[in-house]
Structures are given as structure tokens and as C-alpha cells.
Amino acid sequence: MATGEIPASNVTVADLYHEIAGLRADVTAALTRMERSDERGASFERVQSDHETRLRTLETAVPSSLEGRMMALEKFRWQVAGALIVINALSILVEWALWAPKR
């Protein structure tokens, strides 16, 4: 048998037709799955893009006056904490001075 020849067998036209029809169905199913996958990918891209847009809007939505007020509140909190520490230290010194035994 020479190279490229098809060996003799009992293959009918009906057998070929059924194989080609099955192949067509397989290819159609694969293409359908690929289209669904592409649609899901496009949907994900739209959702991600929308999400990023909303995040960018929120990042720029904080007014500078609000940021300044927050910094002022933090400064006030630390000033109050420092004042309380000084008052506590002074009260300890006064207590010690008043109640310490005289020498």
C-alpha cells in the first residue's frame, strides 16, 4: 500500500454522514459554550469598570473641609489627653506635698 492511500474497508456514505453530523453538533456546542464564556467575560468587564468608576468617584468625593475638620478633632483629642496627663501628675504632686510626713 502506498503512502496516502486509504485502506479498503466497508465505510458507507451513511456512516460518513452520521460522523459529520455528530462533528457538526460537537462544534456547535463548543461554539455555544465559547459565546457564553465571552458574554460572561464581557459582563465581568462591565461590572469591574462600573465598580472602579464608583470607587474613583468616592475617592474624590471627600471634601477638603471634612478632612480639615477630622484633623482638628484628632489634634483636640491629643491635646485633651496631654492635658489630662499633666493634671494627673499635678494632682499626684499636690497629694504628696499635702500628705507626706514632715521631716
- d(CA 72, CA 66) in angstroms, rounded, equals 10
Which position has the grid cell 459554550? 33
pLDDT at 1 over 60: no
Q: Are residues 79 and 45 in the same domain?
A: no
Please give the residue range of the domain that contains residue 18: 9-61
Q: H helices within the chain, ranges in order?
A: 13-61, 64-99
| Lookup result for grid cell 479498503 | 8
Confidence label for 38 from pLDDT (cuts 50, 70 and 90): confident
Number of structural domains, the chain?
A: 2
With contact defined as beta carbons under 8 Å apart, do 24 and 32 qualify? Answer: no
**Would the pLDDT of 2 be above 70?**
no
Read off the C-alpha cell for 14. 451513511
Indicate if 56 and 91 belong to the same structural domain: no
Predicted confidence at residue 5, as pLDDT, reads 73
**Are both 57 and 84 inside the same structural domain?**
no
What global pTM score does this model have? 0.37
